Structure 1
């Protein structure tokens, strides 16, 4: 994997998909938080439309662990995205982020608005803007799955997780809620999570000081790049209506809801996902 250096000297790695040949690069920020970019795969075949540059955040995948673990904090990693842009020699970037990676991408856009050509948030979190999901949101989304054979066990497990009394089996029982279809592909994808996630870094990622929503709401007016927030119909983080709220925070924001999709929409209906994102990128970068 190619590597570059962060501002503090930490060696960071990324992978590049070559399916699209000389296609425009799309910088991809993984979520988790702090999960290696391998779980993104080729984003349902989006690699056939754009050259994907998949960053392994510091301490994940093939990237080094930093000397200072405090640099795992979300806002401290904004410099890593800027270092990657410089390393690639790009004046402006198209940026795609998934889940908790959405906060990192938003903070980058707020800090470097002149460097962002477009921003795509896939099931993206809006905590940086003071917009977050709640336990009530989770329950609301879960209720949509009441006809699934695993629903009752999953709901009981979720309540145990929320109460802080969850067993390992409980944690496993709630996983199906994150996927639009709990099939073999979803199971295989879910099995990789533990090995791909830096749990120590994840605890630091959103720690106190990472976000200043008041300042972010002031700064967002300066982001003139088009922003797409893509939400899964069955996802609770964010719910579709919360995705619309995140999009509305941006001057040029729009939201779309993928039918029947969960938190990993490129797995649930790859064709729908790829067409929606590619259409936005083509329109947003004209």
Structure 2
């Protein structure tokens, strides 16, 4: 795992939030990496390792995840509040320009950030998400998000992750399931291995419409003229092939990388994703 510094910033409503800061060339726009709904900064360890000092990587823990504080008001677990949190971080770090890398919810936030300050977006990676989200995928996510569980060992956790994600990553083996478990779970003070997020993030997510912003196609259009990569899992039930195709039509010159035999969401460690991200970054500063 590459070296990083733990960074903290304060949200507008007074939460202490966390990010990992991996060093890189200060002359190049950094990568601002935003994870999905139940995920955290650990999802971007491999990407940061590939950058290996070449480009700065800032991987955030959204409120209620990882090492960031949990919100007192669960109804603040919505995209517009996350957007305000990220705007505070960008201001704190004085980021004039950055490449936004967003997985699922992180991609929705990437589009919203582009719609508010397009001049700061040097490029973007939208990982398995678009302006339209398939109802089937949302329904599936609502069945598990916010349901607490714990395991006595990491191998037990890995088996549970394998059982619930077998169709998403059909080619994974024990080592990959164990790695995923260690990104999803944490060891608590009682010695139990538990999911690393506030179960209350599910409360607003279960309300239809709260999973995204207002007009996401309008937000997506703010990426026109920017280097853009859309990554889609071939088996995705969140980003349909039709939506991905429409995204390509609306943002001319964007690239689409389809990850075979993968559902929602690709890890960005797949060879197709690695090659596409390298290609994107080669065109940016």
When normalised by structure 1's length, the TM-score is: 0.74
Q: Are 2:176 and 1:175 equivalent residues in the alignment?
A: no
Corresponding residue of 2:177: 187
* Residues in 2 aligned to 1:92 and 1:15: alpha-carbon distance in whole angstroms: 18
Aligned length: 250
Q: Judging changes above 3 Å, is the alpha-carbon distance between structure 1 residues 108 and 250 closer, same or farther for their aligned structure 2 residues? A: same
> How far apart are residue 277 of structure 1 and its match?
0.4
- TM superposition score normalised by structure 2: 0.74
Structure 1 unpaired stretches of 5+:
139-157, 163-167
Q: In the superposition, relative to structure 1, how do residues 172 and 222 fare at CA in structure 2: closer, same or farther (>3 Å)? A: closer
The alignment's C-alpha RMSD in Å is 3.2
- Match for residue 273 of structure 1? 273
Q: Give distance in 2, aligned partners of 1:107 and 1:206.
A: 21
Please state how far the C-alpha of 1:252 moved relative to its aligned partner.
Answer: 5.5
Q: After superposing the two structures, state which structure 1 stretch, 236-245 or 114-123, moved more.
A: 236-245
- Cα drift, residue 50 of structure 1: 2.7
Q: CA deviation at 1:56?
A: 0.4
Q: Which protein has the bigger helix share?
A: 1
d(CA) in 1 for partners of 2:220, 2:243: 17
Matched, 1:54 2:44: no
Q: For 1:62-105, what per-residue CA distance to the aligned partner results, in whole angstroms no more than 9, with x for missing partners?
A: 11123332221112211111111111111122100112221122
Measured after TM superposition, the shift of residue 254 of structure 1 is: 3.3
Which ranges of 4 or more aligned residues in structure 1 deviate by more than 6 Å? Answer: 168-171
Over 3 Å counting, the alpha-carbon distance change for 1:212 and 1:52 in structure 2 is: closer
Match of 1:142 in 2: none
Q: Tell me by how many angstroms 1:112 deviates.
A: 1.9
Q: Is the alpha carbon distance of 1:196 and 1:245 closer, same or farther for their aligned partners in structure 2, counting shifts above 3 Å?
A: farther
Matches within 5 A, 1:224-243: 224=224, 225-243=226-244
- In the other structure, the counterpart of 1:264 is 266
